[in-house]
């Protein structure tokens, strides 16, 4: 699930943008992809990418009133260095 | 050719919308004509009183609710207004209790923020930066 989520360049770009700040709407994510990455997938496509990232635990979304916000969670990435420790890292 | 004289925004409550669009955003009342239980209610930019009017339209049609709910859930602004100094305007509006779903951010030639108009819409504020 984690590796499939990371295996797509658009999803990695979404993670790059969510790393900048928490609580982003789909509109903000789409704007960031267009301006900062030259990516203009449809909103539906971005929404599906977010679903994949959420299934992998890399993104959490929450509803606040009428709005939905997305936030990055990098903790699932620990699995990578747990499996393949980086020499020198504690 | 036709001119842009009026554009419409659906609002939950016309009187509350008038208060927000005038007292908070700073537009000025232009037309207020009773039409049954609602009114033909418009506001203008006080610097351009004969310019384009915004009609604050009742949101009663059954299609309006799902349409606006879907836009709001995805954070999509219904329309965009221009400002000269975005950060100053966001500070002024925040002081007045306005809620933003997106803080000021640079997107190429514009710096934008997105606010909740308390009447069911998200509105983008945009400053052109050279």
Q: What would the 3-class secondary structure string for B1-51 be?
A: CCCCCEEEEEECCHHHHHHHHHHHCCCEEEEEEEECCEEEEEEECCCCCCC
| Residue A65 C-alpha, separation from nearest chain B C-alpha, in angstroms | 9
Asked whether residue A61 is domain-assigned, the answer is: yes
On the CB side of A44, CA atoms within 13 Å amount to 0
For each successive 10 residues of chain B (130 residues), what is the average pLDDT?
Answer: 96 97 98 96 97 96 94 96 98 98 94 97 95
pLDDT at residue B130 in the model: 75
What is the span of the domain harbouring residue B47?
6-128
Asked whether residue B1 is domain-assigned, the answer is: no
Nearest residue to B42 via CA among B50, B99, B116: B50
Predicted complex ipTM: 0.89
CATH of the domain at A12: 1.10.10.10
- A24 in contact with B, Cβ within 8 Å: yes
Compute CA distances B68 → A75, A77, B40, whole Å: 35, 37, 21
Asked whether residue A88 is domain-assigned, the answer is: no
Asked whether residue B117 is domain-assigned, the answer is: yes
pLDDT at residue A90 in the model: 65
Nearest residue to B96 via CA among B9, B19, B43: B19
Asked whether residue B105 is domain-assigned, the answer is: yes
Give A66's contacts (C-beta < 8 A, 6+ positions apart): B69, B72, B73
Q: For each of chain A's 90 residues, which pLDDT tens digit applies?
A: 999 999 999 999 999 999 999 999 999 999 999 999 999 999 999 999 999 999 999 999 999 999 999 999 999 999 999 999 999 876
Asked whether residue A89 is domain-assigned, the answer is: no
Nearest residue to B112 via CA among B96, B99, B128, B93: B128
Asked whether residue A39 is domain-assigned, the answer is: yes
Q: Are B81 and B121 in contact (CB under 8 A)?
A: no
Domains of chain A: total: 1
Under 8 Å CB pairs connecting chains A and B tally to 45
Q: Mind listing the pLDDT tens digit for each residue in B65-100?
A: 999 999 999 999 999 999 999 999 999 999 999 999
- A43 in contact with B, Cβ within 8 Å: yes
Q: Is A38 helix (H, G, I), strand (E, B) or coil?
A: coil
Domains of chain B: total: 1
- The number of angstroms, rounded, from the C-alpha of B129 to the middle of its chain's C-alpha atoms is 21
Asked whether residue A45 is domain-assigned, the answer is: yes
Residue in A32, A34, A67 nearest the CB of B72: A67
The residue behind tokens 């990098």 is: A74
Asked whether residue B84 is domain-assigned, the answer is: yes
The residue behind tokens 């537009």 is: B27
pLDDT at residue A88 in the model: 86
Chain B residues whose beta carbon lies within 8 Å of the beta carbon of residue A35: 107-108
Length of chain A: 90
What is the span of the domain harbouring residue A41?
2-83
CATH of the domain at B44: 3.10.180.10
């Amino acid at each position: 699930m984690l590796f499939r989520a990371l295996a797509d360049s658009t999803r990695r770009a979404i993670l790059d943008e969510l790393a900048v700040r928490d609580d982003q709407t789909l509109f903000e994510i789409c704007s960031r992809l267009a301006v900062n990455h030259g990516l203009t997938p449809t909103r539906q496509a971005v929404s599906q990418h977010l679903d994949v990232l959420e299934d992998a635990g890399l993104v959490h979304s929450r509803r606040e009133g009428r709005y939905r916000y997305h936030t990055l969670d990098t903790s699932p990435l620990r699995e990578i260095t747990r499996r393949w420790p980086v020499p020198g890292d504690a | 050719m036709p001119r842009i004289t009026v554009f419409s925004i659906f609002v939950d409550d016309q009187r509350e919308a008038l208060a927000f669009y005038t007292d908070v955003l700073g537009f000025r009342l232009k037309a207020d004509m009773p039409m049954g239980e609602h009114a033909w209610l418009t506001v203008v930019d006080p610097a351009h009183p004969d310019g384009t009017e915004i009609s604050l339209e009742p949101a009663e049609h059954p299609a309006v609710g799902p349409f606006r709910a879907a836009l709001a859930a995805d954070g999509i602004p219904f329309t965009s207004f221009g400002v000269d100094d975005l950060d100053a305007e966001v500070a002024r509006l925040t002081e007045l209790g306005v809620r933003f779903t997106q803080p000021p951010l640079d997107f190429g030639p514009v710096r934008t923020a997105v606010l909740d108009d308390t009447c069911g819409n998200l509105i983008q504020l945009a400053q052109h930066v050279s």
